[in-house]
Amino acid sequence: MPPNASEKRKREDPNPELELVPINDDPFCGTFDASWHVEEEEPGEPPRMREEWEKVSHPRVDVLGDISVVLDITFEDEVSARKPIGNLLNERVDKQAKIHSMGWQTPRVHTWKTGPDGKKELGEMRRFKIKDGKRVVIKDCKYIAVVSSYGDDNSRLYQRNDGVWHVCDILTAVLDLERRVRPQSEWVGGIDSHHVFMDYVECKNGVVSYGFGS
C-alpha cells in the first residue's frame, strides 16, 4: 500500500533544473517514502542517516533476476522528434525534442526449460505477475543510493521507513531517477531514447546501480 501522506518527508530538491518528467505507466507500483539528491552535506537530512547508510553491508543482489523490462519514452511530437540515422534502422532524437512522459513498458519474465543435453536453456517469455515484484532485495536498510548510469552527480538517495526493499520498490526508484536525468542525456545530438532495454540492476551495500542497452 502507498505510504501514509503524513509519513512522507517533504524535501526541496537541491537541483531544481532536474524536473520530474510526467509518468505514463509504472506496472511495478513500488513505493518509497522520500528521495533527495546525493550531496555531501544537505540540510535537513534525517539524523544519523549517513552513519546508518555507510554501515550497510549486503552482498551483491541481481535485482532483475528473470524479469525483462524496457523504458517507455514518449515525446511531445513523436513524428518530428524521431529522425532516421542514414540507412540504419536506428533512430535519433531531434535536439529540440522534449519528453512528454516516461514509464515502463509491460514487463515480461524469462522461463527456463531442460534442453536435450539435460542443461537449462531459455524457454518462452511469460507475463509478469505481482509476486515477481514482491521478492525482497533488502530487508534492513532504510536508505539506498540509486546511481545513475549518467554519472554519480545525478544519483539520489531513497528512503523506505520500514527498511524493506522489494524488486518493485527498487524499479520504481530507478524510474523516478530516470524521469529526472534522462532529459539531460545525449546520444547522436539529442536525448537518448535508443538505450532503453534494461541490461542489469544490481544492489550491493545499499547502492543500486543499473544500465541500459539497445
pLDDT at residue 15 above 90? no
Q: What is the pLDDT of residue 162?
A: 95
CA–CA gap between residue 197 and residue 150 (Å, rounded): 15
In a domain, 9, yes or no: no
Q: What is the pLDDT of residue 7?
A: 36
Q: What is the pLDDT of residues 33-49, one digit of tens each?
A: 999 887 655 555 665 66
Domains contained in the chain, number: 1
Note down the domain range covering 84. 19-39+46-213
C-alpha cell at 161: 521507513
In a domain, 150, yes or no: yes
Q: Would strands 156-159 and 143-147 be described as parallel, antiparallel, or unpaired? A: antiparallel
Segments in the chain forming alpha helices (H): 49-54, 78-81, 130-133, 167-181
**70 or 191, greater pLDDT:** 70
- Mean confidence (pLDDT) of the chain: 84
In a domain, 128, yes or no: yes
**pTM (2 decimals)?**
0.84
Beta bridge partners, 201, equal 210
Q: What is the pLDDT of residue 59?
A: 83
In a domain, 3, yes or no: no
List, in order, residues 6 or more apart from 176 with CB less than 8 Å away: 20, 32, 35, 156, 158
CA–CA gap between residue 8 and residue 21 (Å, rounded): 20
